[in-house]
Structure 1
Amino acid sequence: MGALLWGYDSQVGGGLLSVPSFRRDFGFESDDGYILAARWQSAFNSISSVGGMFGGLSLGYVSDKFGRRGAVALCCVVSIAGIFIQFFTYPHRNAQLLVGKLVNGYALGMYVSGASSYCSEVSPLALRGITTASVNLWIDLYSPSMSNGVIKGTGNWTSAYAYRLPFILQMIFPVILLAGLPFAPESPWWLVRKGRKEEARKILLRLSGETTDVDLQLQQIQDTIILEDTFAANSTYADCFRGTNLRRTMIACMVFVLQQAAGVVFVLGFSTYFFELAGFADSKAFDLGVGVTAIGVVGNLFTFYTVNRYGRRFIFNWTLFACTILLLIIGFLAIPTNNQKAKWAIAALTLVYNFVYQTGIGPLGYVIFAEVSSAKLRSKTVGIGILVNSLCGMIMNIVDPYLVNPDEANLGGKVGFIFGGLAALGVVWAYFYIPETKNRTVDELDTMFERRVPPHKFASYKVEDEDMIVDDVKR
């Protein structure tokens, strides 16, 4: 639900620009109708990302202080406050609406950060990749369909509720989360760190069942915490950039940088534009844009099978390479300006691109950045990763229109050369830095990172009992 709200807010923010009553109440009248000033468009579209950066960054402190459930409770309260501010904003009080979106954006940054770290800590090893990949699924599956459906249903209303209703509907999900928190298990990792081992044991028994050796699981958590405490006396954000943790933080951030370098905002954000260039009517182009989302959902569901069968490194690297090739092809096809067949091909390749992206780079980014961080610094590393994700997304949303729009650089599909080149550099980086984390426990990953095992050897590396650093610590 936290991931859903993140995606819903970003989608509904852009969608409201097409609502006449929203432009009337927050814009100005001109010969062509009501217009929302460009500076306010940029502000409304980017302010949630700004709030998300600070929300993601603060998650580490909040979740370590109050627990994973406590962090979600705080998110819900802050989100409800931000939603109320937006709902009760009167016409032409643009600054108040901006504040509401900033406050809600702060909560959303914590939501999506907490979703990944919580899934990673409460999921059994075999389900860890599937649950963390589901974060991306909820962003891409439910968010666009919900936001588009709401705006389509209210967009033609002449009253202020044409845009107020999409705002207030968001409150359903924080209320559901608050109601469900008493039934949600706290992270056993956090409980052990707080010395509440018996509570952690009960949670592990609830999550794993009576047939699992819960005492062994509890002992592994304690041993891993002993190991990590040896290398960092205090858990601070500075620790994320020291020693081997610097490498882990860099990987957690770069998976999101590579998503943007692979042109996801360019291809998917302008897919409807490409369909219009191919000769489809506006309404049909919109329907095909919805089809792009549907194909992405299929790709994300496909990942549930491949993530444990083929591993994280293999899928991420090969789908990044495939996206690079597709971007370069789009660039070459855009060179002949009036070739209708080329325009059709570009439109078709946006469908192919989204399927490839959603089978690998998209969901695997959330899997990798949650798994490579140490348990001690997970919430902090995940928060930094979400900050970088928000920052990169905001930059691309600002830059892409200047590259594509006819009144600016007017590169159109030739932007594929720019993102194809960036993605090609990303392929090289990913080969040398993305490790294989499939079927690896937290203590095994800690040991391999501390022993500086090369990423391409993570899958085959044998971690023997006598090789575990935690044994050295105990001795």
Structure 2
Amino acid sequence: MSSKEFDEPKTESHHGHSEVVEAEARVSHDNHDHAYDLDEKAKASDYKADAILAENAEHNMGVLEAVRAYPMATFWAFIMSFTIIMESYDVFLCNNFVALPAFKNKYGVWDEASGQYVIVTAWQSALQVSGQLGALIGVFLAGPLTSRIGYRWATITALMLLNCFIFVFYFAESLPVIFVAQILEGLPWGIFIANAPAYCSEIVPMKLRAPATQMLQMFWAIGSIIVAAVTFVYNPILDDSAFKIPIALQWMFPTPLAILLFLAPESPWWLVRKGRLEEAAKSVGRLGHKSRLENTKETVAMMRRVVELEKSEKEPSLLELFKGRDLYRTLIVCGVYASQNLTGNLIANQAVYFFEQAGLATHTAFALGLITSALQWIFVMLSWILTTYLGRRTIYLWGTAVNVVLLICLGIAGSVTSSIASTNAVASLGLIISVLFTLGAAPASWVIIGETSSLRLRPLTTGVGRASYYIVEIPCIFLASYLLNPTGGNLGGKCGYVWGGTGLLCFIIAYFYVPEMKGRSYREIDIMFKRRVPARKWAKTTIDVNDDE
């Protein structure tokens, strides 16, 4: 046998062996893949089971039980909500400055009709909208910034910027420079107002979402109380300290809050969206009581389940907010935000100036402004109970309806021949409207805003929603200033007809399009929006705990 003949069979045998080895390898690989698939299915089954356990636990948890189970979540929601004081403080400060004698004497013009210096309508409106213009830019910065670096670091960055911008306001010596300073201060406000409701709604269990997000309205009221107290004390003073000291008091807030937020946990939902599951579990552990540490696995599984429902290969973008089912969610957030300006809020924000134009003495107007702010704070806390037990849609709708009726009554009182009785009626109705606004529509709207958007697009949705608030508010401020100013419409209480009409429109739209999300997990909310359940049928719709859509 030749060498060639000997070698060929060996070669054929070698190929045959190679094919057998490859075939065995393929079988082994297929078996490995099959085992891997089974393992993954088993893991998915385990993680869904954990998710169902966590969701059922939240459904069965009472409000007080939730507070005991997640005490630190309540605390950190309180700290994040505190950032809203800074926007509230400055908004009310500028509104009160137009009624402050020292400020009017320095920057106003003499008005023969009233026999005093007044800030002309154009500058009055400009000062009131300047911060909102900055915040409008800030909310568009907030979404991409927060999506990239998280709620904590985005808010800390904004707090440090605010520290710098307060200097510009403090050393301003003309209305144009004050205008620019307010725009700069508005940039961080936009980040605060976009991040706070989203962060608060994400770190607390289901039963605490209402009070946690409603704390935003409480801190808005606290900001107005501080301003009312400070300007009440300084309104008799006629030198620059009457408005310089209130400006300087803004430095009380940013640095302590930045330190606290540095110590705060990041939203576990944000961490899960980023795939950082171990960090999410640690964050959940920090939010709950020590006895809850063993349940962090199930809670993260629940979050993973919802994030998987919303999963997309693309990075979140503003364009997505206006496509498919997310368009409806975006419109609800934008509409609820915008309607705050159309159902009595502008009277609440301009309370002191409103009382002054209603015919009350300056000192009395400032005192009544302080009383209004204190009552708002009390009524916001009462709203926690109403919204938690009666629902968001119910309180929002009927709070709006009551305010519409009262605004029409305000218009009627303002139409009566000027007298002490009509002046007192206008002032009283203005106070009642300002206070009831913080019991019904205002606090309920924060809960709706925090719950409506998808988790994946939440930072962007809250940013765009707040932008709609400013887009509506800015022209409304000019209108409100014109309606009240002696050099403008000088309508006094008759402005109630205008805001009553806009409030009625908001009520009708909300009745058909704002759903009831009380007692719903984020998974259930996602599914109901996907199924396009009509807003009025949400409360009666049942979602199976095993459904994944």
The one-letter code sitting in structure 2 at the alignment partner of 1:100 is A
Is 1:314 matched up with 2:416? no
**Aligned counterpart for 2:208 among listed residues 104, 127, 133:** 127
C-alpha displacement at 1:135, in angstroms?
0.2
Q: Tell me which residue corresponds to 2:11.
A: none
- Aligned equivalents of 1:335 and 1:439: distance in 2? 45
CA 1:330–1:98: 2 relative to 1, 3 Å: closer
- Aligned equivalents of 1:287 and 1:265: distance in 2? 19
Q: Tell me which residue corresponds to 2:52.
A: none
Which consecutive residues of structure 2, in runs of 5 or more, have no partner in the other structure?
1-81
Q: Tell me which residue corresponds to 2:299.
A: 217
Q: Deviations for 1:286-308, whole angstroms, at most 9, x for unmatched residues?
A: 32232222222222111111111
Matches within 5 A, 1:439-450: 439-450=519-530
- Aligned equivalents of 1:275 and 1:100: distance in 2? 27
Q: Deviations for 1:287-337, whole angstroms, at most 9, x for unmatched residues?
A: 223222222222211111111100001110111111111122222333332
- Aligned equivalents of 2:411 and 2:119: distance in 1? 32
The one-letter code sitting in structure 2 at the alignment partner of 1:58 is L
C-alpha displacement at 1:155, in angstroms?
5.1
Q: Deviations for 1:185-241, whole angstroms, at most 9, x for unmatched residues?
A: 1111111122211110011122123544322211111111111124x7330011111
Q: Tell me which residue corresponds to 1:226.
A: 308
Matches within 5 A, 1:146-157: 146-154=226-234
**Aligned counterpart for 2:187 among listed residues 106, 118, 142:** 106
CA 1:219–1:3: 2 relative to 1, 3 Å: same
**Aligned counterpart for 2:414 among listed residues 334, 342, 347:** 334
Matches within 5 A, 1:10-409: 10-19=91-100, 22=103, 39-89=122-172, 91-92=173-174, 94-140=175-221, 142-154=222-234, 160-212=240-292, 213-230=295-312, 233-266=314-347, 269=350, 273=354, 277=358, 280-338=360-418, 340-409=420-489
- Aligned equivalents of 1:87 and 1:258: distance in 2? 33
**Alpha carbons 1:276, 1:282 under 8 Å: kept:** no
The one-letter code sitting in structure 2 at the alignment partner of 1:318 is W
CA RMSD of aligned residues (A): 2.6
Partner of 2:341, secondary structure, is helix
Q: Tell me which residue corresponds to 2:86.
A: 5
C-alpha displacement at 1:342, in angstroms?
4.4
The one-letter code sitting in structure 2 at the alignment partner of 1:169 is L
C-alpha displacement at 1:424, in angstroms?
1.8
- Aligned equivalents of 1:88 and 1:342: distance in 2? 42
The one-letter code sitting in structure 2 at the alignment partner of 1:252 is V
**Alpha carbons 2:228, 2:366 under 8 Å: kept:** no
TM-score (norm 1): 0.90
Which consecutive residues of structure 1, in runs of 5 or more, have no partner in the other structure?
470-475
The one-letter code sitting in structure 1 at the alignment partner of 2:226 is M
C-alpha displacement at 1:14, in angstroms?
2.6
C-alpha displacement at 1:462, in angstroms?
0.7
**Alpha carbons 1:327, 1:420 under 8 Å: kept:** yes
- Aligned equivalents of 2:331 and 2:288: distance in 1? 32
- Aligned equivalents of 2:159 and 2:371: distance in 1? 32
Partner of 1:235, secondary structure, is coil
C-alpha displacement at 1:244, in angstroms?
0.9
More displaced 10-residue stretch of structure 1: 126-135 or 284-293: 284-293
- Aligned equivalents of 2:117 and 2:425: distance in 1? 36
C-alpha displacement at 1:36, in angstroms?
5.2
Q: How many residues align?
A: 464
C-alpha displacement at 1:29, in angstroms?
8.7
**Alpha carbons 1:435, 1:458 under 8 Å: kept:** yes
- Aligned equivalents of 2:435 and 2:246: distance in 1? 29
C-alpha displacement at 1:385, in angstroms?
1.5
- Aligned equivalents of 1:16 and 1:456: distance in 2? 44
The one-letter code sitting in structure 2 at the alignment partner of 1:349 is L
More displaced 10-residue stretch of structure 1: 49-58 or 18-27: 18-27
**Alpha carbons 1:124, 1:208 under 8 Å: kept:** no
The one-letter code sitting in structure 1 at the alignment partner of 2:253 is F
C-alpha displacement at 1:99, in angstroms?
2.7
**Alpha carbons 1:271, 1:350 under 8 Å: kept:** no
- Aligned equivalents of 2:150 and 2:506: distance in 1? 36
- Aligned equivalents of 1:371 and 1:192: distance in 2? 18
- Aligned equivalents of 1:158 and 1:430: distance in 2? 47
CA 1:274–1:393: 2 relative to 1, 3 Å: same
The one-letter code sitting in structure 2 at the alignment partner of 1:259 is Q
Partner of 2:340, secondary structure, is helix
- Aligned equivalents of 1:322 and 1:393: distance in 2? 21
- Aligned equivalents of 1:46 and 1:414: distance in 2? 23
Q: Deviations for 1:13-72, whole angstroms, at most 9, x for unmatched residues?
A: 233345555456656799978765654433322111000011112111111111111111
The one-letter code sitting in structure 2 at the alignment partner of 1:420 is G
Is 1:415 matched up with 2:495? yes
Q: Deviations for 1:403-427, whole angstroms, at most 9, x for unmatched residues?
A: 3445433433233222222222222
C-alpha displacement at 1:271, in angstroms?
6.6
The one-letter code sitting in structure 1 at the alignment partner of 2:314 is A
